[in-house]
Structure 1
């Protein structure tokens, strides 16, 4: 998965919030509270994974544009 400059900045901003939640979840898990610690670890992982998996309303125009450009411009065949 390639990220552009904006994607990298968005990932860094997400990690700023997800890492403390994950560390607190790991500490809680190691202290013996499995449900709370596991839940917090799951939340931290979902904070990072979901923005890359889900299609948001802001992504729809970009996807439409990619399909239109892809259908209008044909790549030359390498011979």
Structure 2
């Protein structure tokens, strides 16, 4: 995951966990009941529910990345001058 998360990222992660945790618990129950393939599949789905939103680029991320690159090129860091 990212080093620092904003409030919206934290809320998004919490929302993902609200839906992923019950799927993971059901998957664990299926594994313990002997249904290995179904249980493992559910655990994989639960993991992807949490990881994919953190890694994928959404249409809202693209303008932010473009603006960040444009600002980085337009605004230069001042040189440290000794007075």
With the length of structure 1 as denominator, give the TM-score of the two structures: 0.89
Q: Which residue of 2 aligns with 1:53?
A: 55
Q: Distance in 2 between matches of 1:16 and 1:41?
A: 14
Q: Distance in 1 between matches of 2:74 and 2:62?
A: 18
Q: Which runs of 5+ in 1 are unaligned?
A: none
Q: Distance in 2 between matches of 1:8 and 1:50?
A: 14
Q: Which runs of 5+ in 2 are unaligned?
A: none
Instruction: Give me the CA root mean square deviation.
Output: 1.6
Deviates more, 1:20-29 or 1:68-77: 68-77
Aligned length: 79
Kindly report structure 1 stretches of 4+ aligned residues shifted beyond 6 Å.
none
Partner of residue 17 from structure 2, selected from 9, 15, 18: 15
Q: Which has the larger radius of gyration?
A: 2
Q: Which residue of 2 aligns with 1:29?
A: 31
Partner of residue 44 from structure 2, selected from 42, 45, 50: 42
Q: Distance in 2 between matches of 1:57 and 1:36?
A: 33
Q: Distance in 2 between matches of 1:77 and 1:20?
A: 54
Q: Does 1:68 align with 2:62?
A: no
